[in-house]
Structures are given as structure tokens and as C-alpha cells.
Amino acid sequence: MESHYKIAIIGGGISGISFAHFAAWKNHSSIVIEARDKIGGCIETYYSTKAHDFWLELGTHTVYNSYQHLIDYCNQKGLLEQLQKRNKYPFKLLINNNICSIIPQLNLMRAGLGWPLFKFTTAKDKSVKEYFSFVFGKQNYNTILRYCFDAVLCQNSRDFPADFLFKTRKKNKNLPRSFTFKNGMSSLFNNCENEVFTIRTNTTCNGIYYQNNTWHIKTNHSELTADKLILATPWDITQKLLKDINHPLADLPHQPTLSNLITVALIVDQDKVKHIKPLNGLIGVNQSFYSIVSRDVIDHEKYRGFTIHFKPENHDIISLITKFLAKLNIPNDALIDTYIKTNSLPCYQTHHSRFLTSLNKRLVQDNSLYLTGNYLTRLAVEDCVKRSYEEFLRLVSTS
């Protein structure tokens, strides 16, 4: 078995796989090392064995027509032929046991006064709480908007940098505004075995070191070597690997922390939940969850599905599921299938831009090490793929 590679990528999520894909597209071979038994990372579609021809997303659930780099990736892999347009339904709030529209809960006069501020003031170096309390009013923020931002980020958004929350992107109007794929978001990883890179799952990276212009990668199976090393792992893993070799990137200020959450997918008999009108999702206001994402956006004749992102302090999952069903008046016999997964996301600090500037400034001086992931520019899948593409271009330019 080969043990030396030109490019070694640690991490088989969308960041690592898209890097390997862009490299393969330009005839550069690589190896991807993934600790889990499958690739995908935060993108995972659950294919039910109990509800025929039904799937639910456990993480990323949407592609937007402004996701230029992800769309390029999809186009190169022939995935746009499998495009599935999403139905348009609203996001609503769950307050106590009641499903409510968002707008009526706001002080519209104060929100209206804040709209010009949102358009023309900068959010740089301000937290979500600081900026949006100023723009739309403390009452609107504290009672409603904070929960909306928590739902978007699936974490406590209070100290998240406001300038990293939203980004204006150019739209490709030849595509639907939002879409997925006929078999879900895991389609992004279809046919990887046919590309010019090797994937090793169930392979944990236990350590790295650089010697004689070569990276050495210690795994639970063997030691590999590579000319170029790409770390496409979450920041806590990346930071530990770098810390163990006293790399200066490991000690940068304003590093992101980690938010853990418990994701539960519920599939129900749609005939028994007709009292719940179709929706895109629910935002929890003082609830045990950040958000609920509905499968209603993709039609199915028999089933409906809800993916619940529970807050990390809640550990009694069975009790949480029971209470959730009761809140929405869903009878227990409506439940067809359940799947549980632990997810984690980076929590950016308020001065994340300083961390990012310092990291890139130091990284550009190293022609053997490349970093990509969702802890850098933004959490969206587009930003992961964009970062991987930019790092690949940097690799090519220095080779």
C-alpha cells in the first residue's frame, strides 16, 4: 500500500472532499483521511429504512443559487442534473406551545426605524447582541431576534461577530433560488471513488510533524508521508495537531470555540399531523432546541419529517422527543422513525476577523501547509468550498 503522497488531506467533510475534487480536476492526486466510517462531516442525509423512499437532512439542508463555488463543484460532478427545487414555506416561531408568525411579534415601528441603520452602518467588531440591539432595538432583539439568530447558527449567537452573520452574494438566476438534490445533500459525495484521489475512512490522525521537507502523518493504522498537508478538520482538532508541534498558528488570539448540539430526525405519518400547516421550520423561543427544520419543502405522499437541533445542555433525548411531540400535539403513534446524531459547530469570537487576518498572514508564508473548514470565513457550505478552492489555488501557485 502506498505510504507517500504529494497531497494529504485530513478530514473528509465537504471542505476536505472539495479540496480533493478541485485538485483532481486539475490532475493532482491526493489522499483523504477520515476518522469516521463515512465521509460527509456535517452534511449527512438520513435514508430511512422504515419510511420507504424518504430522507431527512441531519445538517446542511439547502443550496442557494448564490453559492458560486459549490455550484461549480456540483456542475463538475454532474449533480445539477439531480437538482430538486424546494417548496416555499415560512419559518415560524414556537412560543410556549403555539406556532406563531415572526413579524407580528416584533415592534414594527422600532424595527422600521432600524432598517436604514442596518443598510448603512457597519457591524465590524460588534457582536450580534451589540449590533442588532442597536439597529432594531433591545426589546426586539431580546424577545425575538436573538432566537432567530440562534436558530440560524445553531448556537448561542450573542457574542458571534455580526459582520460574519450575513453576506451578499451574486445570484445565478438560471437556477432556482434554493434547492437540494433528489436524494438529498449527501449526493454531494457521490462517485468520489471515481475521482483521482484515495479515501481512507476509519482512519484517525493521531499526530503530525514536519521533517526534511516532508509531512509525517501518524494514524491509528500506519504512518503516511506527504509533500503538502491540508488540514480540513474542525478547529479544535486542527489546533491540537498544530499545538503538539509548537506551530505558531495554534496560539493565535480570538480563536473560535466549539458548540455541540444533539440533532434528532423524526419521521411521522402525515395523515396524523394535518393540524400543522406546511412550514420551512420552527425557531424555538425559550425552548430546549435552537431550530426545527422541516422536510415539507420537498413533497412526499405519505410522510413528513422534522430535524430538531437540541441545545447541548439537554441530554435526556427520549424525554425531549416526548415533550416535543406533546408540544405540537403529535400523537405517539404518528412517529414512524427516529435517528439521533451529535453535531458540532465553531463559535466565532466577536473579534474573529483579527483571528482570521493573523492566521492567513502566517499561513501564506508556509508553502507546505493549508487550512480549510467552516471555522474560517463563515459557517455556510459555500464558504467551506470557496476556502478549499482558494487554498488549492495557493498550493498550485507555490508548487
The pLDDT assigned to 134 comes to 94
pTM: 0.95
Residue 295 covered by a domain? yes
- Per-residue pLDDT tens listing for the chain (399 residues): 568 999 999 999 999 999 999 999 999 999 999 999 999 999 999 999 999 999 999 999 999 999 999 999 999 999 999 999 999 999 999 999 999 999 999 999 999 999 898 888 888 889 999 999 999 999 999 999 999 999 999 999 999 999 998 888 999 999 999 999 999 999 999 988 888 899 999 999 999 999 999 999 999 999 999 999 999 999 999 999 999 999 999 999 999 999 999 999 999 999 999 999 999 999 999 999 999 999 999 999 999 999 999 998 766 888 989 999 999 999 999 999 999 999 999 999 999 999 999 999 999 999 999 999 999 988 899 999 999 999 999 999 987
- Do residue 210 and residue 61 come from a single domain? no
Strand partners, 42: none
Residue 179 covered by a domain? no
What CATH number is given to the structural domain containing 246? 3.50.50.60
The pLDDT assigned to 196 comes to 83
Neighbours of 357 (CB within 10 A): 13
Instruction: Please identify, among 347, 366, 382, the residue that sits at the C-terminal boundary of a domain.
Output: 347
Q: Quote the cell numbers at residue 327.
A: 408540544
- Do residue 238 and residue 359 come from a single domain? yes
The pLDDT assigned to 379 comes to 87
- Do residue 263 and residue 286 come from a single domain? yes
List, in order, residues 6 or more apart from 150 with CB less than 8 Å away: 156, 157, 283, 284, 290, 291
DSSP string, 52-77: TT-EEESS---EETT-HHHHHHHHHT
- Do residue 238 and residue 313 come from a single domain? no
The pLDDT assigned to 195 comes to 84
List Cα–Cα distances, 101 to 89, 90, 93, 294, in angstroms. Answer: 12, 8, 6, 16
Q: Do 294 and 278 touch, CB atoms closer than 8 A? A: yes
The pLDDT assigned to 299 comes to 94
Strand partners, 268: 304, 335
Residue 286 covered by a domain? yes
- Do residue 274 and residue 337 come from a single domain? yes
- Do residue 251 and residue 297 come from a single domain? no
Residue 170 covered by a domain? no
List Cα–Cα distances, 187 to 5, 55, 57, 85, 382, in angstroms. Answer: 27, 12, 11, 15, 15
Strand partners, 217: 208, 224
Number of compact structural domains in the chain: 3
- Do residue 368 and residue 250 come from a single domain? yes
Closest CA to 74 of 64, 87, 59: 64
Q: What range defines the domain where residue 124 resides?
A: 103-164
- Do residue 233 and residue 297 come from a single domain? no
Residue 271 covered by a domain? yes
Q: Do 223 and 211 touch, CB atoms closer than 8 A? A: no
- Do residue 267 and residue 374 come from a single domain? no
Q: Quote the cell numbers at residue 66.
A: 448564490
Instruction: Please identify, among 331, 347, 363, the residue that sits at the C-terminal boundary of a domain.
Output: 347
- Do residue 249 and residue 269 come from a single domain? no
The pLDDT assigned to 348 comes to 95
Closest CA to 396 of 45, 30, 142: 30
Residue 169 covered by a domain? no
Strand partners, 161: 127
Strand partners, 266: 306, 338
Measured CA to CA, the distance from residue 187 to residue 101 in angstroms comes to: 33
Residue 59 covered by a domain? yes
- Do residue 135 and residue 194 come from a single domain? no
- Do residue 321 and residue 290 come from a single domain? yes
Residue 292 covered by a domain? yes
Strands (E), the chain: 4-10, 30-33, 45-47, 55-57, 63-64, 83-85, 91-95, 98-100, 178-181, 197-200, 205-211, 214-219, 223-231, 257-269, 281-285, 289-294, 303-310, 335-347, 369-371
